[in-house]
Structure 1
Amino acid sequence: MADEFKMGLLVPGSVSEEGWNRIGYNALKGVEEQLGAKVSYVELQQNPASFEKAFRDYASQGYQIILGHGFELQDAALDVAPDFPDTTFLISSSDIHEGNVIGLNTDTSQPFYLMGVIAAKMGKKAGLIGGMEIPPIQQAFAGFKAGAKSVNPEFQVSEAYIGNFTDTAATKEAALSMIAQGADFVVPNASGATVGAYQGIAEAGDQVKSFSIYTDFTGVAPKNILGLYVADYAQGVVEVVRAIREGNAPTTNVAFGLKDPKVISFHFRDDNPQVSVPEDIRKDVAAVVADISAGKIDTMPQ
């Protein structure tokens, strides 16, 4: 059918894992269910050559929209896009808008800023564990550090990167190392490898606190996670795709933030008294959320 609407998804990993890759899959399914698109996805290893081939395969098959779910797919999209002007290439965790390549960026510095505020009010030292040292993760960690420093300029925050998004043993080891060095808040951001850090946090005991990132990891560390950063990125993607289909493609990169509560939110846990955050801190955080949403707080100060 000539007018059939088709969307493809490229994920740098497995959609069976809770976390980042599953979010991309949920976005694709949202487009299928809400917009009636024919959809397809391909799981890739961290290999730029395979990224370019997958983009070309989908574009040559007449897919009108292709979502590359991760900053690491941006360069491949830029290489392929000029050859397929009728295809829109969306790139997650990207700030780009160049021709028919459009970045979709959830401003993770904003919820991480809230985590930093809480850590500095309740803890003594924090550790951050990243997968790879790429802009979206650097942005998140910059937000955490800015939030912590807004409370206590002397609050110590350490960082470690494991160099990939799959090695759960490495994230667990990094978490245990940070805890041994006195961190009582440890926050991982490493896609599929994230769960390893939560396992290490749980093993260290309930004196170490954390936050759940992207999806609900409270089952892994039930006595440690104080709050959840939930990104309904799927719905954000659906709305962007809807606009493109209707001829209203974004004219800049798309940045979701706390001002978009249907897409990005942070909430405290109320199901376990052991992980309850005091009411005065909750009120402080609510005020910070309002100020960030109103543009009064820069969550990534230079």
Structure 2
Amino acid sequence: MKFSRRTCLAALAGLTMAGATGPALADDFKMGLLVPGSVAEEGWNRIAYDALLRVEKELGADISYVELHENPSAFENAFRNYASQGYDVVLGHGFQFQDAALTVAADFPDTTFLISSSHVFDGNVIGLNTDSSEPFYLMGVIAAMTGKSAGLVGGLEIPPIKQSFEGFINGARSVDPNFPISQVYVGSFTDSTAAKEAAVGMIARGANIVVPNANAAGLGVVQAAREAGPDVQTFSVYSDYTEAAPENTLGVYVADYGQGIVRIVSQIKDGSFEAAGNIVFGLKDTDVMMFSYNDHSARSVPDDVRRKVEEVKNGIIAGEIATRAD
């Protein structure tokens, strides 16, 4: 199925979704995607878009997506339109889609609603969560062992981002209980200027490690680190932004969310999917969650720190280290 890389917002009855080239056959397996922004931008939204392409290629599904701004009523309308058109699976890519899915799902029991970054499990609404507190815990260990102060820049103050930052803080405090850490939420996943300003302020107050978790807005944090010079470092989160600041990137956390989505959607398609709760991918899922170092950083992570991080990583996987409170 062919579709443009951009799509218009359509939240009314008769929704026209990117990828829809005409009515699908009744026996087609169909998956829809709702993203809070543009799939053309590297980062969180692009991860879901690439996953959707894999579902099309690997599972032979008919696919469609719609780009939405932060508008809960539009979320509900988009879910309802997909489900009413017979879509088997609809993925709302972000915690902010959870309430809309819960509102709509009871009317469409034959559609599975997957919600990224959510711990929901209610009938046919299932959270598909990547526990980013685990890799962020590793980042916190690195920050406390190599830096003097850290700043965390989030998009919206929602549970998945708060939990990732909790992981970072717990990791850092496991090394140094007094390690200074500040946090700012900019209230947007697209305002890179606001994220940059927040990071610049943190750097001015002494932070030499600044870490984003703000989707496309996080690029502003990367830019602030680059402009501050090699003494200030950051981490690339969800996608690899190393080329944007090669001397300022200590490490890269990539979530191959597509692999996880294909795994789950494949089970839904063949009828083997039996959800017993929300689905959580963690460091144990080495095909989904990966953390690596950037050896070209001006302050590349030393070998002794890497050995410590590997030890901590193994402890997390074994269940010996809790990255956040349940």
1:248 deviates by 2.5
Report the TM-score, using the length of structure 2 for normalisation: 0.91
- Which of the residues 176, 180, 187 maps onto 1:152? 176
1:102 aligns with 2:126: yes
Q: Deviations over 1:167-212 (max 9, x none)?
A: 1111111111000000011001111111111111100010011110
1:85 aligns with 2:102: no
1:241 aligns with 2:265: yes
**Match of residue 278 from structure 2:** 253
Query: Is there any run of 5+ residues in structure 1 with no aligned partner, and where?
Result: none
Contact 1:171 1:194 in 2 (8 A): yes
- Which of the residues 56, 68, 80 maps onto 1:32? 56
Aligned partners of 1:100, 1:189: CA distance in 2, in Å? Answer: 28
Amino acid at match of 1:151: V
Aligned partners of 1:13, 1:296: CA distance in 2, in Å? Answer: 38
**Match of residue 278 from structure 1:** 302
Aligned partners of 2:286, 2:315: CA distance in 1, in Å? Answer: 14
Question: What is the SS of the residue equivalent to 2:253?
Answer: strand
**Aligned-CA RMSD value:** 0.9
Amino acid at match of 2:146: M
Aligned partners of 1:176, 1:68: CA distance in 2, in Å? Answer: 32
1:171 aligns with 2:195: yes
Aligned partners of 1:46, 1:274: CA distance in 2, in Å? Answer: 38
1:2 deviates by 2.2
Contact 2:151 2:182 in 1 (8 A): yes
Amino acid at match of 1:118: I
Question: What is the SS of the residue equivalent to 1:212?
Answer: strand
Aligned partners of 1:194, 1:123: CA distance in 2, in Å? Answer: 20
Aligned partners of 1:275, 1:103: CA distance in 2, in Å? Answer: 38
**Match of residue 225 from structure 2:** 201
Aligned partners of 1:27, 1:120: CA distance in 2, in Å? Answer: 34
**Match of residue 210 from structure 2:** 186
Query: Is there any run of 5+ residues in structure 2 with no aligned partner, and where?
Result: 1-24
Question: What is the SS of the residue equivalent to 2:307?
Answer: helix
Contact 2:151 2:181 in 1 (8 A): yes
Contact 1:170 1:196 in 2 (8 A): yes
Aligned partners of 1:273, 1:108: CA distance in 2, in Å? Answer: 23
1:263 aligns with 2:265: no
Query: How is 1:224-235 mapped onto 2 (pairs within 5 angstroms)?
Result: 224-235=248-259
- Which of the residues 21, 33, 42 maps onto 1:18? 42
Contact 1:6 1:63 in 2 (8 A): yes
